[in-house]
Amino acid sequence: MTTSPTPATGRSLLALVWRCVVVVAVAGLVALGVNAARPSGLPLLAGQLPSFVPLRSAVPCAGLPRAWWGRMQPVEPAAAYAFGREEAVLFIDARPHADYIFNHISGALEAPYNDFTAALAQEGSALTPGLRAVVYDGGEPCGEAVRVAKYLVKDYGATVYLLQGGYPAWEQAGLPITGGHARGELNGEEAP
């Protein structure tokens, strides 16, 4: 005698739907928790700005000692420009080489994070103990500028001003830039 499978009842279908709803709800809660825990988490409401953690009140980037943040200060582009004109401050571009040659802040030293030690060897005379520097990157929170600033504070005892919004904020403010190479134009060779 063979038995045929029993047809699904409304009750077992309801249980399956309920399990799916629970799994999706738990996954959504986990995703919201991870987003809230990240310093660069995405805003959840349209028009909402990401929260800014003042650099002096907390360590916003994992892996950097709290004591170093006393030597790293946020600075707006207009204030950095005025500050750089009045005092001996070195501007350091921590973005990749291709971004630097495309456009950069006028007079900035090229020191990409991924090749920072080589840049220091070439420009060693500009980096003296106790120097004051404005470091910028592409505007990412906890990006290349913070990593370069970490080395400047640790190895040179530098006071570092982190340019808020990075290069995009400087350019949007209409402050002096240098460059103008076409994207992809490196070492005198044009991109195909």
Which position has the higher pLDDT, 188 or 3?
3
76-106 tens-digit pLDDT:
999 999 888 877 888 999 998 888 888 999 8
Parallel, antiparallel, or unpaired for β 177-179 and 103-105?
antiparallel
In terms of CATH architecture, what is 66-179? Answer: 3-Layer(aba) Sandwich (3.40)
At 169 the pLDDT is 92
**Given a cut of 70, is residue 120 above it in pLDDT?**
no
Q: Where are the beta strands (DSSP E) in the chain?
A: 72-75, 90-93, 103-105, 109-110, 132-136, 159-163, 177-179
Domains of the chain, residue spans: 66-179
Dihedral sign of CA atoms 55, 133, 84, 165 in order: negative
